[in-house]
Amino acid sequence: MTTIRVAGFSVSLDGFAAGPEQSLASPLGRSGPELFQWFFPTRTFRAMAGQDGGTTGVDDQYAQRSMAGFGAFILGRNMFGPIRGAWPDEAWKGWWGNNPPYHAPTYILTHHARPSIELEGGTTFHFVTDGIESALRQARAAAGDKDVKIGGGVDTVRQYLQAGLIDDMHLALAPVVLGQGEALFAGLDLRALGFRVVERAATEAATHLVLAR
């Protein structure tokens, strides 16, 4: 059975999952890269970036799991790129170049229609204008017997949480405070939504928590 998952989602000690002032030059926002210091040194991330080497410990194990077993992905518009409003043209094809790391159908939530983009490695971006449930129906159909990953950003994850559509979450709690940014938990009652911690592991770079319903 297909599981709807959040995985590899980094959060600061004060509850922010992205920094403020996101831009083309700073896609994670000001101070945002501090959240991912558990991820960037891993062999998994370096392989995604076309590089050799990297760490192979607990952080890498969670990094591998954050991208494995998925037959489809759902991303918010901001995760796809910095452009806001109507698409000025079709030149922008994502942050990742011609071979994005998804290698599966990937559904972008947007208010502005755009033709699908087929890229190398099996990634095809589809642009969904009729809401989160429509995107999930399409992603489920595409995923087959694999899982669907809600890849972010913060607003997208919050929408799916509020709708009760996420089955489990892997959060990487980074030992940093951002002070401001995009708050993941504000106004959410994860206990009332049925979540409990089912797995935990700590490294110097993060505390990994898996919550499930």
The full set of domain ranges for the chain reads 4-16+27-83+98-212
CB atoms within 10 A of CB 29: 21
- Ranges of the chain with pLDDT below 70: none
| pLDDT per residue as tens digits for the range 61-84 | 999 999 999 999 999 998 999 888
pLDDT at 181: 93
pLDDT at 28: 82
Distance between CA atoms of 192 and 36, rounded to whole angstroms?
29
pLDDT at 173: 98
pLDDT at 154: 95
Are 184 and 154 a contacting pair, CB within 8 Å?
Answer: yes
pLDDT at 187: 94
| pLDDT per residue as tens digits for the range 4-31 | 999 999 999 999 999 887 777 788 888 8
Distance between CA atoms of 44 and 54, rounded to whole angstroms?
8
CA distances from 106 to 68, 134, 151, 194, 210 (A): 14, 13, 10, 27, 23
Distance between CA atoms of 185 and 178, rounded to whole angstroms?
14
pLDDT at 2: 94
4-16+27-83+98-212 CATH fold: Dihydrofolate Reductase, subunit A (3.40.430)
